[in-house]
Structure 1
Amino acid sequence: MHILHTVKFSKSANAMRDLPPDSGAEVAFAGRSNAGKSSALNALAAHKGLARVSKTPGRTQLINIFSLDDARRLVDLPGYGYAKVPVGVRDHWRELVDTYLKQRKALKGVVLIIDSRHPLKEFDRQMLAYAEAIDLPCHVVLTKSDKLSRSEAARTLALVRAELGADGSADARVSVQLFSATAKVGLDEARDVVMRWLGSA
């Protein structure tokens, strides 16, 4: 069993001061609302109830911390881009996530969850540009790939890799893969990236 199965929910944070001490290593999960972020987290941890899956976009309204041990954590960021959330709440999320990405020293990389049927929307591009600007590694996980035909999935993967300049090298700052939580596609590849960032490859 992969070590990620030991991860447990630790706490939720509505402000930077609510986060655990800024030490060790963290990998953050970001993505548009309803892109499949909670399902991806649950699949990677082989734990169905780890992150709450909701049919209502924007359900993750806090930064949720999941701990492997005292030094290593997975961080579930609020889903972005959902218009029905009140403006004040949305602005708070944006400021909190912005501050977290910019200031958190323990953060080693971001897993960007993107629905493979709707790749590279404006918010995804903003997150990628932001990660590049602060020199933060970003691994793009194209979820729900089982909803595409094999040729459509391959074409989408190639297009996204080409646009992002993801050349597949081990030291690349951006990498891209296909993923399906339900069909168990791409789990090992995503786990390997996360564990490498956490220093346990």
Structure 2
Amino acid sequence: MTEQNNSNPSVDTPEDAEKAALAWTHTARFLTTASQLHQLPATELPEIAFVGRSNAGKSTAINTLTQQKQLAFASKTPGRTQHINLFELGPKTAPDALFADLPGYGYAAVAKDAKRRWQKVMADYLELRRSLTGVVLMVDSRLGFTDLDRQLLEFVASRVGNGSVKLLVLLTKADKLNRREANEALETAQSVLGELSTDEADVSMSLFSALKKSGVGDAACVLHDWVHAA
């Protein structure tokens, strides 16, 4: 994971930075939902999108990051989320960022026409959404990058490459790995991400476990810095 640079002079230690970042993510609250790109509100706020395969633990990770049990809909049946859900962060009277929960991709039980429609919506969102500042890609640490995950990276590669969008890869379900497997997962992810023509400062990765709460503070700090470092 890239080294953090805490610009807030009131944050003196990594523990303080993590506490501030988690307090910020905890402010997340539902704003709106949309099934088409044009239905999303125009905004000047930085927007961070959460993407990943339907069974990669995306909604659970969002709930863990925000310390809220039911902010994002975490169904026992993958592929159920069929909308882009926006969440507002920061003070209610002066929000400073948005989280966008995008539908999971790749679940076999979803009809082919729905898959094609959502692939187009997601591709357009990742390519055209002007307020998009960062992308959090959830990858099941036990499976590594699937073909669909690599396609997702292709969608965002140009924007990450030109510095307009930052990328964080969370290797989820890391509690299922032993130390050797965890190191191998990190090495593989590093290799895949190394293929992107990007500034290393714009790409981060971390092992993540919603069950064990590991990697949560690191991820929160990355997202907080994306929004507040400037």
TM-score, scaled relative to structure 2: 0.81
3-state SS, counterpart of residue 154 of structure 2: helix
1:67 to 88, 91, 105: 88
Counterpart pick for 1:179 among 205, 208, 216: 208
- Provide the residue aligned with 2:150 in structure 1: 125
- Give unmatched runs, 5+ long, in structure 2: 1-18
Q: Do the aligned residues in 2 keep the contact of 1:58 with 1:85 (CA within 8 Å)?
A: yes
Residues 11-160 of structure 1: matches in 2 within 5 Å?
11-69=32-90, 70-135=95-160, 136-160=165-189
2:152 is matched by which residue type in structure 1? M
Contact 2:144-2:188 within 8 A present in 1 as well: no
* Alignment partners' CA distance in 2, 1:160 and 1:3: 28
**Alpha-carbon distance in structure 2 between the residues aligned to 1:95 and 1:48:** 30
How far 1:154 moved relative to its partner? 1.8
Residue identity matched to 1:45: T
Give ranges in structure 1 of 5+ residues lacking alignment.
Answer: none
TM-score, with structure 1 as normaliser? 0.92
Q: Does structure 2 retain, via aligned residues, the 8 Å contact 1:161–1:175?
A: no
**More deviation in 108-117 or 17-26?**
17-26
Query: 4+ residue stretches of structure 1 with deviation over 6 A?
Result: none
- Does the aligned pair in 2 maintain the 1:141–1:178 contact within 8 Å? yes
Partner of 2:9: none
Shift of 1:7: 0.5
| Match status 1:8 vs 2:29 | yes
Structure 1 vs Structure 2 CA RMSD: 1.9
**Aligned counterparts of 1:25 and 1:36: Cα–Cα separation in 2:** 24
2:150 maps to amino acid:
R
What amino acid sits opposite 1:172 in the alignment? A
2:8 equivalent in structure 1: none
Q: In structure 2, the residue corresponding to 1:198 is in which secondary structure?
A: helix
What is the CA distance between 1:185 and its match in structure 2?
0.5
SS at match of 1:142: strand
Paired residues of 1:64 and 1:76 also in contact (CA < 8 A):
yes
Identity over the aligned pairs, expressed in percent?
43
184-193 or 82-91: bigger deviation: 82-91
C-alpha separation between the residues in 2 aligned to 1:162 and 1:83? Answer: 28
Name the larger-Rg structure.
Answer: 2
Match of 2:222 in 1: 193
Q: Which protein has greater RCO, CA pairs closer than 8 Å, 6+ apart?
A: 2
Q: How far apart are residue 30 of structure 1 and its match?
A: 0.3
**SS state at 2:220 partner:** helix
Residue 98 of structure 1 deviates from its aligned partner by 1.2
